[in-house]
Amino acid sequence: MSKKDIFSDPESELAERFSAEYPALSRAEKQRIYSLIQQKQGRGAYDSEVTVSGVERRSGRAWQRAAGIAAAFALIAGIGGSTFFLHMNRVRSSERLAAAEQLTDDFLTAANLLTAGAQDGAPTLCFYRYSSRNSGWDGGDVHYARVSDDRFTSCGELVTFIDGLVTNEYMYELRQNGGGYFSAGIRELLSGSDDTAPVLISYCGELYSPQTSQPAEAYISAPVIVRSGIHEMTVRRDTDEPLEFHMVWNGSEWQISEIERTSE
Amino acid sequence: MMNAFKGVDRIMTDSRLRALMEESPEAGQRALFEEYCGYVYAIAAARLKGCGTAEDVEECVADAFLDIFTALEKSPSGDGDLTALIGTIARRRAIDTYRRLTLRNSRTVSLGETDAAETADVMSVDDEADLAETRRIVLGQIEKLGKKDRLMLIHYYYYGRTLAQIAGTLGISESAAQKRIQRARKKLRALLEKAGINEEWWYE
């Protein structure tokens, strides 16, 4: 057989499986493609489109202009250089902290739904749950309450949201085995098992999770950057246990690459 | 194979997506894109790797979605399998893009050469069967690897992602990505040799 790429024209089933199990697109890439679609539809995807028209006729000698610009730049750099860099460092540091807070807040909010919580108390759904395999168990009612975060109306939206916060590699871990954060993989949490009911149900365009007694206001500490590199950082946030979020810069945005439960 | 997860993860069913597209085309299109962009990308990337840039693949995915939106506007209440419809449209668009890029990449193409390229693109039934069988065996061996190795190989060989893209997505350096791929490839080569496949099956 001649040398040929065995994956160049795979069955649709394989494409479907790989896209679910080994997703390749980052949130930034997805957004870029969607912007392209909007642009092609004439919806003007880009926030600011700068149009430059007209031609300036250049006078004088080119080297004089270049030398003038270089001299001006050197003067400005000499006077304000150190101040500028100090300021930039401060801006970058505050930007990092803001990104760290946003990313961890978003993750903890979404993760809270997968561990039951964030309910508004009404309305509720009631299911009778039983097991055909266990004749000795009479079964019982399971109550689901609507989740209060109206950003999520389906399990798919929730999973997509988490997918956008973490690296593909870590999303794979979260889906398969919980990534050291959840007690089981997201797949298992969502579908439930013989012993557990699904943690989320999508019903009439709204999302429901098992009703719990009203939890006390959860404590979440402010984010603290405990380690920082050029393209990575570790952020600590304490909930009912201390958590360390390892984050990486993928060239366009920060993403969570791992979450560790740490001891004091 | 429709995996069990799809039933839960893609809880927004095809009929709901169709209904949403009728009710609010813009919201429906966005929801459809979120649901299926990974799938369409998987089809386009597999077809275009080696002949197009990352931008070409992204443009192909965008064009495929425009085709999909048009098809759904023409038949809003269709009850067919949306995955199959989207897969077919994406595949057609990827083949069109592949042909366009192949022509663009060759500086001068005579009519005869074009015909030859088109003919070469059509495989015999025997070749097709051989390829499917090799794919089945290779996938079987890839399944035996650890998940990190699988991830690297599929990103590199299936999607045709560059080292820079893989490094960016996984949050590692390019040299680390390269080392991981080399390691995974070595392990796979050993497994394939045991399975009786010695040839270089991968895209060079």
Residues A152 and A229 in one domain: no
Out of A192-196, B73-77, B173-177, B200-204, the most confident range is B173-177
Task: Compute the distance between CA of residue A232 and CA of residue A248 in angstroms, rounded to an integer.
Answer: 4
Segments forming the whole domain that contains residue B177: 123-194
Classify residue A135: in a domain, yes or no.
yes
> Is the CB of B47 less than 8 angstroms away from the CB of A24?
no
Chain B contact probe: residue of A3, A14, A16, A43 with most B CBs at under 10 A: A16
* pLDDT the model gives residue A216: 47
The C-alpha atoms of residue A252 and residue A97 are separated, in whole angstroms, by 16
* Domain assignment of residue A111, yes or no: no
CB–CB of B9/B34 below 8 Å? no
Residues of A in contact with B65 (CB under 8 A): 33, 37
- Please report the pLDDT score of residue A148 as a whole number: 66
pLDDT tens digit string along B83-117?
888 999 999 999 999 888 888 776 444 444 444 44
* Residue that finishes a domain, picked among A185, A210, A235: A210
User: Does residue B2 belong to any structural domain of this protein?
Assistant: no
Q: Is the domain of A204 the same as that of A247? A: no
Q: What is the pLDDT of residue B37?
A: 92
Does some domain include residue B90?
yes
With CA atoms as reference, report the closest residue to A175 among B103, B162, B159, B147. Answer: B147
CA distance A87 to chain B (A): 28
CATH classification of the domain holding B64: 1.10.1740.10
Among A195, A210, A225, the domain boundary falls at A210
A-chain residues near B46 (CB < 8 A): 7-10, 15
Q: Does the structure show a pLDDT above 70 at B147?
A: yes
Same domain, B27 and B112: yes
The pLDDT value recorded for residue A92 is: 58
- Give mean pLDDT, residues A226-253: 86
In this structure, are B111 and B44 located in the same domain?
Answer: yes
For A59-86, the pLDDT digits (tens) are: 444 444 444 445 544 444 444 444 444 4
- Contact across the interface for B46 and A257, Cβ inside 8 Å: no
A143, pLDDT greater than 60: yes
pLDDT confidence tier of residue B64, bands split at 50, 70 and 90? very high
Distance of alpha carbon A243 from alpha carbon A239, whole angstroms = 7
Question: Is the pLDDT confidence value at A260 over 70?
Answer: yes
Of B186, B33, B139, B68, the residue nearest A10 (C-alpha): B139
Residue A164 lies in a domain: yes
Residues B158 and B103 in one domain: no
Residue A187 corresponds to which tokens in the numbers above? Answer: 């797949």
Contacts of B203 in chain A (CB under 8 A): 5, 7-8
**A10-39 pLDDT, tens digit each:** 677 888 888 888 888 887 888 889 989 988
B163 and B97 belong to one structural domain: no
Q: Among A171-175, B68-72, B79-83, B198-202, whose mean pLDDT is lowest?
A: B198-202
pLDDT at residue A261, rounded to an integer? 85
Answer whether B127 touches A (CB < 8 Å).
yes
User: Average pLDDT over chain A, rounded to whole?
Assistant: 71
Q: Which residues of B touch A255 (CB under 8 A)?
A: 171
Residue A51 belongs to a domain: no
Cβ distance of A25 and B1 shorter than 8 Å: no
**Residue B146 located in a structural domain:** yes
Q: Identify the domain boundary among A210, A235, A253.
A: A210
Closest-CA residue of A relative to B95 is: A9
Residue in B1, B50, B66 closest to A40 by CB: B66
Same domain flag for A198 and A236: no
Do B21 and B114 share a domain, yes or no?
yes
Sign of torsion, CA A193 A196 A199 A205? positive
Q: Three-state SS for B37?
A: helix
Q: Residue A50: is its pLDDT beyond 60?
A: no
CATH at residue B187: 1.10.10.10
Mean pLDDT value of segment B33-59: 90
A219, burial (CB in 10 Å: exposed 0-12, middle 13-18, buried 19+): exposed
Confidence of residue A130 (pLDDT cuts 50, 70, 90): low
pLDDT tier at B200 (50, 70, 90 boundaries)?
A: low
% of chain A at pLDDT higher than 70 = 60
Looking at the structure of chain A, the number of domains it has is: 2
Is pLDDT at B58 greater than 90 in this prediction?
Answer: yes
B47 located within any domain: yes
Same domain, B151 and B189: yes
B106 and B181 housed in the same domain: no
In a domain, A52, yes or no: no
Q: Which range marks the domain in which residue A170 is found?
A: 116-210
* Percentage of residues in chain B having pLDDT higher than 90: 19
The residue-averaged pLDDT of A2-8 equals: 60
Question: Which of the listed ranges A50-64, A174-188, B11-25, B39-53 does the model predict with the highest average pLDDT?
Answer: B39-53
Contact across the interface for A12 and B151, Cβ inside 8 Å: no
| Predicted pLDDT of residue B8 | 40
The answer to whether the CB atoms of B199 and A18 lie below 8 A apart is: no
